[in-house]
Amino acid sequence: MRYVPLDTPKPISKIGLGTWQFGSREWGYGPDYEQRAAQIVRRALDLGVTLFDTAEIYGFGRSERILGAALGDDRAKVVVASKIFPVLPLAPVVQQRAVASAARLGVAGIDLYQVHQPNPVVADTTTMRGMRALQDVGLVGEVGVSNYGLRRWRFAEAALGRRVLSNQVRYSMIDRGPEKDLIPYAQQAGRIVIAYSPLGQGFLSGRYDARNPPAGAVRRANPYFLPENLERGTELIATLREVADAHDATPSQIALAYLLRHPNVVAIPGASGVEQMERNAAAAEIDLADDEYAALVTAAHAFRPLTGLAAVPKLIRARTGR
């Protein structure tokens, strides 16, 4: 495993574990998954993973409970990251919600506490006042944000009066927005971009095609899995396979290695089984050659999916079968 080259109280692994899947029916993994989830966590620990990401909203608290129980006594050794879902993130609310998350996780302190998304009405001034108080009493280690643009990230830092260590954003070969300004900022200021959906929710695994789309509500609502977009992704997947073959690796591992080239980026793929977790952890060791990276960049740029409003009628048709 490799770790972020930053001064943090505990090392942060370049591959973390995302746990939205834990206790969340919308992924469609069924009742047996809970036990597998615990095995995934234990295996991740064996492999040197130190970043475990959850949120109060995942499975309405179940993800935090499953993660905390699976980590057991190892909770104190790793970076446990959770998120407040900011419906009304006033300072006292932030404090109450952190206490509740810590209780579900079974931890004395949340190593990284993140604001799940920017609230359009409530300013970060009050939210960060709550975060600062939590840091001052030791219930929260580092503060993070998620789905923030650069301006608001920096504003949050000014409001906190301390570093907001990380911004967790959608970042993968098919969502490269963070490369514009968030990653350069993280690099220059000593912050971290946490890449969520780093495999495009499995799109980049090459496992799915127009005749074989994934099941589950999450991905039925994701336009990338429209038959048309799976078709449009064929070339990109072919390039991933080609680079993967040269490394005796899989397309998913190469898709992760692409992100991890940036020193201040960590990825938190979710996993449906232990073997995926093992492969994802191993991806941290893959070094892409410059020409391989260039080929991946070209293939990623050439992928033009149907998204936004244009995709909505097709998504509705895919859902209703009409």
What is the set of active-site residues?
58
205 binds ligand NAP (CB under 6 A): yes
Give the nearest distance from C-beta 277 to ligand NAP in angstroms: 7
36 binds ligand NAP (CB under 6 A): no
Burial 144-177 (b: 16+ CB within 10 A, else e): bbbebeeebbebbbebbeeebbbbbbbbbbbbbe
Please enumerate in sequence order all residues whose Cβ is within 8 A of that of 47, keeping only pairs 6 or more positions apart, or say none. Answer: 1, 277, 278, 281, 282
Q: Which of 13, 50, 167, 168 contacts ligand NAP by CB under 6 A?
A: 168
Token duo for residue 270? 């979710």
Q: Which is nearer to ligand NAP, 126 or 272 (CB)?
A: 272
Q: Which is nearer to ligand NAP, 201 or 229 (CB)?
A: 201
Q: Is 255 helix (H, G, I), strand (E, B) or coil?
A: helix
Site for ligand NAP in 71-110 (CB under 6 A): none
Terminal-residue alpha carbon distance, the chain: 47
Give the nearest distance from C-beta 248 to ligand NAP in angstroms: 14
Phi, psi for 17 (deg, rounded to 5): -120, 125
198 binds ligand NAP (CB under 6 A): yes
Q: Residue type for 271, please?
A: A
202 binds ligand NAP (CB under 6 A): yes
Q: Which is nearer to ligand NAP, 133 or 170 (CB)?
A: 170
Q: Which of 107, 271, 288, 318 contacts ligand NAP by CB under 6 A?
A: 271
19 binds ligand NAP (CB under 6 A): yes
The residues that bridge with 72 in the sheet, in sequence order, are: none
Site for ligand NAP in 293-312 (CB under 6 A): none
52 binds ligand NAP (CB under 6 A): no
49 binds ligand NAP (CB under 6 A): no
- Number of Cβ atoms within 10 Å of the Cβ of 205: 20
14 binds ligand NAP (CB under 6 A): no
Question: In the bound complex, which residue of the shown chain has the CB atom lying closest to ligand NAP?
Answer: 18
Angle separating helix axes 33-46 and 62-71, nearest 10 degrees? 50
**What whole-number distance in Å separates Cα of residue 176 and Cα of residue 236?**
14
Q: Is 113 helix (H, G, I), strand (E, B) or coil?
A: strand
Give the nearest distance from C-beta 42 to ligand NAP in angstroms: 17
> Given the rule CB under 6 A, which residues bind ligand NAP?
18-21, 53, 116, 146-147, 168, 196-202, 205, 207, 214, 250, 252, 268-272, 276, 279-280
